[in-house]
Amino acid sequence: MKNPITLEFNFDHKSEIEWTAKIVFKKFLGLDIELKHLDDPTKINIINNSHVIETKNIFFKLSNNCWLDKDILNYINFSDLTIDGIPNVTKKNIKIFFGQPKIKFLEKKTTLDCDIFGMIFFIISGYYEAISLKKDKHDRFAFEFLTKDFQNLLKEPSVDVYVNFLFRLMKKNDPTLNKKNQYYDNFISCDVDNPYGFYIDSFSKTTRKFFGDLLKRKDLVQANLTLANFFMSKFKNYSYDELNTFNFMMDINEFYGNTMTFFFLSDNSKSSMDGFYSIDESRIQKLIKRIVERGHNIGLHGSYLSYNNIEYLINEKNLLCDILEKTNSNQTKIGIRQHYLRWSAKSSPRLIDKAGFDFDSTVGFADHIGFRRGTSHNYSMYDLENRVSLKILEKPLIVMEDSMFGKEYMNISDDNDFKLKLKKMKKSCVEFGGEFNFLWHNSTLKNKYYKDLYKESIRLVSN
Ligand SMILES: [Zn+2]
């Protein structure tokens, strides 16, 4: 048995540092740690193999008495720390923002003049979002609100980079130290906002859609399909619906051995933003049954207002569980992804935890791909308001297809550019044995162009 790593720090900041340490050492590296109180509040020491790595405590000390105050931003100063001399790190420099870019190697001691635990916490807990007052039209924090330095930081799995750097420092002092093996995996999902054409119950809507296809989109084939879909849906033949791409998605993913998760809205009565379908419709229940029978998973797509409302969350979860029971699903874990990726860094983790979900998969930027929490690994979240650890697991969302295609977002129209960006994201996940969490809506597979791109994308992100 190896001696555990000892982490020494001032216990005035225990809750946050303990949470960070558990994620870094236990969850990500698979190493045992013991925590010891240190009188000096300015340092955090890591002791392994009778060697001390002395790091600075800047963030936790400064923020302790003015928690969630944005004044902490005045202490942020980006610089490059050279880590060239440390074996097996893949970068020559890493960006740091709390402290100075200095590292000194002495015989039994390494001193690092930056606050590595503070930087990790600041990103992975969502603190940087919680102190921001900026919100987009859906009340969301957005990638575009970040400074250029932070944008660059979150295009990469910066937390994983910091953790790897820390491990390499420790391994330099103890070459026998090994971390747990983590292997690349993917999490492919679909948010079911529009399971079928919105027009099929109304002849006037169908007519408007038909003329839109014909005159605006100049697509005669689609115009005919719209009419066919209207009439054939009356006979429960849904094969003419351009949004009915569920079998297509499952076929491709099954070919590559991927289990998908489909997130369904279960209550559309609270807001007009929650789509037009009801989970009680026999058509939807049959779809869910088919997904379950094919071995894929069902999750809750939390309604527009539910991200900060515990009653809505519990009610919607119960409605979904009732349906799952009817389908004889033996799914044991229920996950959630919020509609429109709406999220409060302060309250959503606590409410979703309280509502009894097993995981959340909302935390990615709507307006940009990347690593909103600095990692692609799953981790248990932190309640920033009550300053306690939570059980609820976050599966960070890395790529949503709409972030790339959206005209108001990244506006990528070139499929080669799309694939290049996807490959880059996969490489970052592979490098740290993380999970590529990839969302593509069934409604974005309307034509051959997108279907071909989907096929290619799933091939790319598969193991
Ligand atoms: Zn949605």
Q: What is the pLDDT of residue 360?
A: 98
Ligand 1 centre to CA of 291 (Å) is 18
Span(s) in the chain for CATH 3.20.20.370: 185-196+243-461
Question: Is pLDDT of 201 > 70?
Answer: yes
Ligand 1 centre to CA of 331 (Å) is 22
Ligand 1 centre to CA of 440 (Å) is 11
CA angle 105, 107, 108 (to 5 degrees): 100
Ligand 1 centre to CA of 299 (Å) is 12
Instruction: Give the pLDDT band (50/70/90) at residue 329.
Output: confident
* C-alpha–C-alpha distance, residues 322 and 305, integer Å: 21
| Portion of the chain with pLDDT greater than 70, in percent | 100
Phi and psi at 132, nearest 5°, equal: -90, 140
Q: What is the pLDDT of residue 74?
A: 95
Residue with the bigger pLDDT between 228 and 163: it is 163
Q: What are 302-321's pLDDT values in tens digits?
A: 999 999 999 999 999 999 99
Q: What is the pLDDT of residue 90?
A: 76
Ligand 1 centre to CA of 103 (Å) is 46
Q: What is the pLDDT of residue 79?
A: 97
The mean pLDDT of the chain is 94
Ligand 1 centre to CA of 92 (Å) is 40
Q: What are 279-290's pLDDT values in tens digits?
A: 999 999 999 999
Looking at domain 185-196+243-461, its CATH superfamily turns out to be Glycoside hydrolase/deacetylase (3.20.20.370)
Ligand 1 centre to CA of 340 (Å) is 5
Q: What are 337-362's pLDDT values in tens digits?
A: 999 999 999 999 999 999 999 999 99
Sequence-ordered alpha helix ranges (H) in 112-157: 116-124, 127-130, 148-154
Phi and psi at 264, nearest 5°, equal: -105, 140
Q: What are 230-257's pLDDT values in tens digits?
A: 888 888 888 888 999 999 999 999 999 9
Ligand 1 centre to CA of 365 (Å) is 13
Helix (H) or strand (E) holding 438: strand 435-439
Ligand 1 centre to CA of 364 (Å) is 13
Phi and psi at 235, nearest 5°, equal: -100, 20
Count the neighbouring beta carbons within 10 Å of the beta carbon of residue 296.
22
Phi and psi at 78, nearest 5°, equal: -75, 135
Q: What is the pLDDT of residue 38?
A: 97
Ligand 1 centre to CA of 303 (Å) is 8
Ligand 1 centre to CA of 197 (Å) is 16
Question: Is pLDDT of 109 > 70?
Answer: yes
- Edge-to-edge strand ranges of the sheet holding 109-114: 33-37, 5-9, 43-48, 51-56, 109-114, 99-105
Ligand 1 centre to CA of 339 (Å) is 4
> What torsion do the CA atoms of 314, 317, 322, 327 make, to the nearest 10 degrees?
-170
Instruction: Give the pLDDT band (50/70/90) at residue 1.
Output: low
Query: Is-contact 369 398, C-beta < 8 A?
Result: yes
Q: What are 79-100's pLDDT values in tens digits?
A: 999 988 787 777 889 999 999 9
Ligand 1 centre to CA of 111 (Å) is 47
Poorest-pLDDT segment among 97-106, 327-336, 348-357: 327-336
Q: What is the pLDDT of residue 224?
A: 87
